[in-house]
Chains A and B, each alone.
Chain A
């Protein structure tokens, strides 16, 4: 293997992990699940983008953002605005007082399409917006904060406040944003019906490939010199600064990159689920997104994907059957992961592998250990295959 692919795949160990993940999300899940469930898994995989972004930002960068929902939401809203404009053509909205504008604007007595919405008539501009709006927003926040050396706890609290501001703003400006319901009733993408089963599979594959691409790019970044600096910065920021590096620029870059990935997830979410609402932007969803990364392992890009799948699957199952239990479980998960498994599932897996390998080196291989590893592997990888069907998960 030459250095480039080596960096991309993260060595032999990394290549195997990635291959397993790819096999699961590209082959096993699509073959084993019906269209409804594939839609659900697709939704979970869009959260995996955010989880991966948090591994980069929090695990490697040491920057805990409690506002990743902002970027997920911004990406999602940009996509939703385009789809909504497409869905509200003059013919299908002819019963409105002003045909040709989204229905919620009509209900809120807005008679002309606001300036903010104009660019979203064009698909190219929309794609640009999905990428640029969240990145620019992250740049502004990052520039203002990291240049002033705001970090750690203060950064977390401020991003939390920004998430709160944005969600209140979106809920409050009903006429422009659809308020608390968000932008709903999205039907077609460039004339292609996104609600059919066929479309679900295609979107799922686009989503899965995009996720793998994101993981590859993230790996490349981490294995480059920048990745080294990122780790060094996390552990001894002052020392990196005194070595002549501009720490703030690195932080801004990684924050923007994380925002960009999250936004991609948001845009894919809108496409697959067919709506976007402020309930993905506020404080609660943003903190839940951190737990996806924490459960999977804050230092593992692949683990983050499993974390997102597992936690969301658990949420779907438990919040349907035992709604009270879910909050206990979620709370317990936060506490347990932080206290006992700071490296999440990936950490447990590596620990077991180490134990297994050290046993294997000895003359007598312990059969029990082998089984334990097999159980863990099965647990992390086969759980997302849904066995019971939560009724409300269509949303």
Chain B
């Protein structure tokens, strides 16, 4: 098949599958935040990619500091926390200034947040320069792990996967096992009633939005371990992440995971056999066609409308 032996195909599948898993992890982290914001609140946050970039720049900045004080081996954990906190804070602010006025007009949130993303991109460019920068990685994140002579698995990819798993579990706990999550879900299902039973729905909205942004920040921190960061990094992932959320079914955590996995694997395996652009085109095309047949996404919550 395609001039490869069976063993080659096996190795290719393992390695492309693994690079697909790294892509899956970043997409999942991006999409989790989006799924919370879009699925729970119906707001389309086109600036989500820029929140990811905020996380990435935070990490890069902290890594510079870490190099200066020679603590490169430890800083990364703090960087993740800092990325979350900063993106969370900015998200909180953005909700307060912009988003809360537009809840009744989802299509307008799309335009306003697109404008926001343009402004943020330009701020990044003016502050950090147009060139791509990368973070100084701690020693324990470098190198690769070689189970057989033909297969190489980079450790940073494993780390990103681990992080994605932890964050996903955290989101699950937050949404389905905490008081806050209960309030969020109640607000989504029936805003008026939730307000009537004493839930501060405005506060719930604000925290939900900020949380989505914070998770995007974590995605950015994870992103620095596998690629370098530039002002437009976030916009490269935004369409993919939206496709993940819509394809999986907006309000479903399982759907988001499954569709991130499917899209990432399809892209990374197809890219090996075709050109990189054709791999992406065919993946997106298949998703669009499936979405035309199943507009609610794969794992749509079964509700009567």
Contact = CB atoms under 8 A, between A and B. Distances in A.
Interface stretch (B74-82, B101-109, B180-188, B216-224): B101-109
B288 interface: yes
Contacts of B101: 339
A153 B296 CA distance: 12
Chain A CB count within 10 A is highest, among B108, B115, B117, B287, for B115
A154 interface: yes
Interface stretch (A34-42, A129-137, A283-291): A283-291
B189 interface: no
A157 B118 contact: no
Main secondary structure of the interface of A (DSSP, over half): helix
A283 B240 CA distance: 12
A152 B38 CA distance: 13
B191 interface: no
A277 B287 CA distance: 26
B126 interface: yes
A294 B111 contact: yes
Nearest to A171: B277
B295 A150 contact: yes
B281 A162 contact: no
Contacts of B20: none
A156 interface: yes
A149 B291 CA distance: 11
A334 B111 contact: yes
A156 B105 CA distance: 13
A324 B287 CA distance: 36
Contacts of B173: none
A195 to B, nearest CB: 33
A340 B105 CA distance: 13
B242 A334 contact: no
A161 interface: yes
Contacts of B280: 168
Interface residues of B, number: 41
B110 A156 contact: yes
Nearest to A144: B292
Contact of B119 (A161, A165, A290, A331): A331
Question: Is the interface on chain A under 10, 10 to 19, 20 to 34, or 35 or more residues?
Answer: 35 or more
Contacts of B105: 338
Interface in A167-191: 168-169, 171-172
B114 interface: yes
A161 B239 contact: yes
A294 B295 CA distance: 27
A64 interface: yes
Nearest to B46: A287
B121 A327 contact: yes
B119 A328 contact: yes
Given A153-B44, A160-B239, A330 B293 contact: no
Contacts of A162: 288
B281 A330 contact: no
A327 B122 contact: yes
A64 B288 contact: no
B243 interface: yes
B294 to A, nearest CB: 8
A160 B280 CA distance: 14
Interface string B120-150: 1110011000000000000000000000000
Contact of A154 (B278, B284, B293, B295): B295
B42 A153 contact: yes
Closest 4 pairs (CB-CB, A-B): A334-B115, A331-B118, A331-B119, A172-B277
9 contacts: A150-B291, A157-B44, A157-B246, A158-B292, A331-B120, A337-B111, A338-B111, A339-B101, A339-B102
